[in-house]
């Protein structure tokens, strides 16, 4: 079982941070770090039933409460479960943006996930939460990825370019 949670306290009430969830995969997306990771894209605007994903990871929107929560159920092979973003009310002065991943991996993903995917996932989520903090008036700055993440990004990018897959695009960190 994969259980992975990332969260960040934001210095605004949940009602003022809802645009982060509502803008996902849209033209004004201020949460997903598509400047550094494969863009999140769907076949239609964010809402239950929208299908898409980011890079090779495929999922469908299975729950959506505007301004509060969006859940994605995986449709890719070898992974059964979901990931979601939710805003947790913290009163008049803050809220918590939480991302939860709950899934079962099967096949080769049982080995590949902890060794390759999880460190990339964690780095992507740190980038997303940095963007959320910045978008809500916080001090977050763009941080360089650790060497281990850069190596994995290069490895995954090479595998996809050799296989002819065009769905995975990483920004060249040397140019950042």
pLDDT of residue 170: 43
pLDDT of 60 higher than 60: yes
Inter-residue contact 61 to 47 (CB < 8 Å): yes
Instruction: Return the pLDDT at 169.
Output: 42
49 vs 108, more confident: 49
Neighbouring residues of 63: CB distance < 8 A, sequence distance ≥ 6: 48, 69, 70, 71, 84
Domains and CATH numbers, the chain: 2-165 (3.30.530.20)
Contact 59, 52 (CB under 8 A): yes
User: Is residue 76 pLDDT above 80, yes or no?
Assistant: yes
Percent of the chain with pLDDT over 90: 68
């Amino acid at each position: 079982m994969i259980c992975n949670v990332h969260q960040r306290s934001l210095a605004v009430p949940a009602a003022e941070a809802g645009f982060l969830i509502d803008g996902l995969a849209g033209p004004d997306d201020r949460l997903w770090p598509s400047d550094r990771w494969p863009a999140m894209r769907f076949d239609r605007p964010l809402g239950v039933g929208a299908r898409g994903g980011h890079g090779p990871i495929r999922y469908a929107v299975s729950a959506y409460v505007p301004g509060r929560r969006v859940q994605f159920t995986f449709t890719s092979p070898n992974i059964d479960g979901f990931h979601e973003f939710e805003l947790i009310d913290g009163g008049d002065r803050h809220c918590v943006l939480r991302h939860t991943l709950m899934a079962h991996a099967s096949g080769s993903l049982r080995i590949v996930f902890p060794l390759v995917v999880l460190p990339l996932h964690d780095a992507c989520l740190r980038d997303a939460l940095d963007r959320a903090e910045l978008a809500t008036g916080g001090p977050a700055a763009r941080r360089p990825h650790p060497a281990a993440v850069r190596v994995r990004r290069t490895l995954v990018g090479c595998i996809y370019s050799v296989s002819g897959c065009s769905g995975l695009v990483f920004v060249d960190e040397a140019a950042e």
